[in-house]
Amino acid sequence: LEEVDSTNAEAARRAAAGEPGPLWILARRQSAGRGRRGRSWLSAQGNLAATLLLRPRLDARSAALLGLAMALALAETLDALAGRPNAAEVKWPNDVLVAGRKVAGILTESAGTGARLDWLAIGVGVNLVSAPPREALDADAQPPGAVAELLGLRVAPRAFLEALAARFAHWQGRIEAGEREALRRALVARLAGRGAPVGLRLGDGRRREAGVIRDIAADGALVVETPEGRRSLHAAEVILEAAGQGG
């Protein structure tokens, strides 16, 4: 598409109209891109703005693994195209970092009844050519970066999406086949901040706690050590120490 308000919003409209999926929606420009917690997602032309619309045969909790699988697929795609093994990390649950800078983010949205999902939209934004200015972000946000600058990789959005779609399909197939431990191990191997003290923004985002990242559980939860003991978090925002210091 030449321009949409957001690719996730377009996916929701198509789902409501009966689109069976799977369907990738790619836009050259977004007029109202969105990130987590209602934030805007700023994306210049030449960056990737896309959404995958699915009708997953999974319950809502299991479908959450697909968002993590997309983050892993993004990291693996960046490594493969740049020829730089293990250059990209996953910041649980939905960001991809290179050299500590955020180059990609994911926004997962869905609709359904109870534990049953009607549809799932996984939105992907990748700073292929440019990153938003630091001052446009929250004070403790991860510093942004661009793939072209950090990895020396110049790739068109469509070509990047083709590689990403293939890598995600691999992990989706393994999840649906019950091979979730392989996904967990691959995520842990790329987990940003593992073993380090981090900030944790919980609930509505106003409550902050400190902890140390230890692991990812089988269901995709982040396992952290806190002053109150070990906890498994299904919803939180991780603030890495360098980002919290405004680096």
pLDDT classification of 43: cutoffs 50, 70, 90: low
* pLDDT, mean of residues 64-79: 96
- Residue 37 pLDDT > 80: no
Are residue 105 and residue 138 in the same domain, yes or no? yes
Are residue 74 and residue 136 in the same domain, yes or no? yes
If you average pLDDT over every residue of the chain, what do you get?
A: 89
Domain boundaries, position 201: 197-244
Which residue is listed with tokens 């983010």? 105
- Who has greater pLDDT, 116 or 74? 74
pLDDT, tens digit (0-9, with 9 covering 90-100), for 156-189: 999 999 999 999 999 999 998 989 999 999 999 9
DSSP 75-139: HHHHHHHHT-TT-EEEETTTEEEETTEEEEEEEEEEEEETTEEEEEEEEEEE-SS----GGGS-T
d(CA 124, CA 133): 19
pLDDT classification of 153: cutoffs 50, 70, 90: very high
d(CA 156, CA 115): 38
Residue 242 is predicted with a pLDDT of 53
Residue 94 is predicted with a pLDDT of 92
Are residue 45 and residue 114 in the same domain, yes or no? yes
DSSP 3-state assignment of 142? coil
DSSP 146-162: -HHHHH-----HHHHHH
pLDDT classification of 63: cutoffs 50, 70, 90: confident
- Residue 226 pLDDT > 50: yes
Residue 34 is predicted with a pLDDT of 57
Instruction: State the CB neighbour count (10 A cutoff) for residue 135.
Output: 6
* pLDDT, mean of residues 78-104: 96
Are residue 134 and residue 38 in the same domain, yes or no? yes
Task: Using the 3D structure, point to which of 155, 173, 189 is the last residue of a domain.
Answer: 189
Are residue 160 and residue 206 in the same domain, yes or no? no
Model pTM score: 0.90
Task: Report the CATH number that the domain containing residue 22 is assigned in CATH.
Answer: 3.30.930.10
* pLDDT, mean of residues 36-55: 78
